[in-house]
Amino acid sequence: MKEKRTPLLTRQTMLILSILMESSDPLPGSGLATVSALASGTLYPILIRLEEAKWITSEWEKSGPDGTRARRRLYKVTGLGVRRARQEANEWKPLVERFA
């Protein structure tokens, strides 16, 4: 993979962070794709970069009843992710209010 860097806080990145912050349970990639309506080609690069920056973490779900099905990876936001998202939102606030 390419070198690690701070994730760019685009609209899609903020959307993913907000969905994870609002959800009480960890969400799989497919669930995030459904809620955010983002395509896999947009969603997964964001998830990979956020996880590398430790803004989110992930863990395997417990395998299904039959055990043959591929396991889902469940994502949840970290404290650092919440802080950075709120900080960014506060920075945007005055700018957004100008358009209100």
Partner 1 sequence: MRKALLALLIAVTSKVLTDEAKEWMLWLPGKLIRWASKQFRDDYRARIEEEWLAHSEDLPGNFGKVLHALGCVATAFKVTDALSRTALVIIVVPIVEIEAPVVVGVFLLVEAMGLFDVGEERRRSNRLRRAAGGLTVLGLKELELTKSDYHRYTQVKSLAEGLRGMGLIGQVMDSSTRRAVKRWMNVAEQIGFLKRNL
Give the interface with partner 1 as residue ranges (CB under 8 A).
1-2, 28-30, 33, 39-45, 48-49, 69-73
Q: How far is the CB of 73 from partner 1 (least distance, A)?
A: 4
Q: How far is the CB of 98 from partner 1 (least distance, A)?
A: 33
Q: Would you say 21 or 48 has its CB closer to partner 1?
A: 48
Q: Would you say 34 or 87 has its CB closer to partner 1?
A: 34
Identify any residues that bridge with 95 across adjacent strands, giving them in sequence order. none
Q: How far is the CB of 18 from partner 1 (least distance, A)?
A: 21
Give the integer Cα–Cα distance in Å for 76 and 68.
25
| Longest alpha-carbon distance in the chain | 55
Give the integer Cα–Cα distance in Å for 83 and 77.
10
Question: Per the structure block, which two tokens stand in for 56?
Answer: 């989110």
